[in-house]
Amino acid sequence: MARVVVNVALKPEILDPQGRAVQGALSRLGLSGVIDVRQGKQFIIEIDGELEGDRADLLEKLAGELLSNPVIEDFTLTVEN
């Protein structure tokens, strides 16, 4: 069984109001020195068998089109076979 972790984050140049709100809350609750907070999504996908070849290519494609919005988001994909 393969375990695939896809992390999706807003591109650095895109404003992240949720992250900004969390940054403000952390500071108000007493955590000093918070420079930046970005909030993203994480998908943990369990796949039957090994992930390789066409199936790996398709998942990479879908991570960029279904799981993330390529206009405003970047993704990283890690496979643990």
| Binding site residues, a copy of itself, CB under 8 A | 1, 7, 9, 19, 22-23, 25-26, 29-49, 55, 58-59, 62, 66-67
Given the DSSP bridges, would you call strands 73-80 and 2-10 parallel, antiparallel or unpaired?
A: antiparallel
Judged by beta carbon, residue 17 or residue 30, the one nearer a copy of itself is: 30
Tell me which residue has tokens 């988001």: 73
Amino acid 48 reads D
Rounded to the nearest whole angstrom, what is the least distance from the CB of residue 70 to a copy of itself in the complex?
16
Please give the single-letter amino acid code of residue 70.
P
Kindly state the smallest distance separating residue 72's Cβ from a copy of itself, in Å.
16
